[in-house]
Amino acid sequence: MKTLVLENKQVVPVFNTLDAIKVAEGRVMRGKGKLQKKLVELEKEYQEDRQEILEVYFEVDEKGELKRDKQGKLITLEGKDEQDGLEKIQELLDEEVKIDVVTFDTKLKVLYEALDKDDFTTAKDKEINEMGFDTLMDVLEEVFENYKKEEEKA
């Protein structure tokens, strides 16, 4: 199965990288758009999970924002440890998330090939984050190069 694997902390940088890239219209653009939609879904899920953790360990206001004391330190709930809460957030950031790309793999492959050939420009008023771009290319290579190797073995 073709699956794109990222960590939660990589979702936003990869999305922002895609957002800064201007590609040709057609399948390349559709591949970019489909991947961006999936990344938005993952980020929404991450934010919901993060909020659940925050509400277990820390005081939050009616808007869901963390409350802080006069020194700016997070206010923990009674019987909870701040460090434990922060560790849970870090675990969530490090958690792998997967995107099944089977339904749009041909469009995504065209996007990967365009990016690999430097067949893109930077969108107006945007900058491409080098680390985000590298992560994007790594996960796309993983999907298409490993799948290619699996097909050759079969």
Domain that holds residue 41: 3-144
Residue 76 lies in a domain: yes
Tell me if 150 is assigned to some domain. no
pLDDT tens figures, 97-129: 999 998 898 999 999 999 999 999 999 899 999
The amino acid that residue 67 corresponds to is: K
Rounded Cα distance between 97 and 6, Å, is: 5
Number of domains in the chain: 1
Residue 154 located in a structural domain:
no
Q: How far apart are the first and last CA of the chain?
A: 13
What phi, psi does 78 have (nearest 5°)? -60, 130
Residue 133: inside a domain, yes or no? Answer: yes
Q: What pTM was computed for the model?
A: 0.88
| 151 within some domain | no
pLDDT of residue 63: 86
Q: Residues 109, 31: contact at Cβ < 8 Å?
A: yes
- Cα R_g (the chain), whole angstroms: 19
Q: Does residue 153 sit within a domain?
A: no
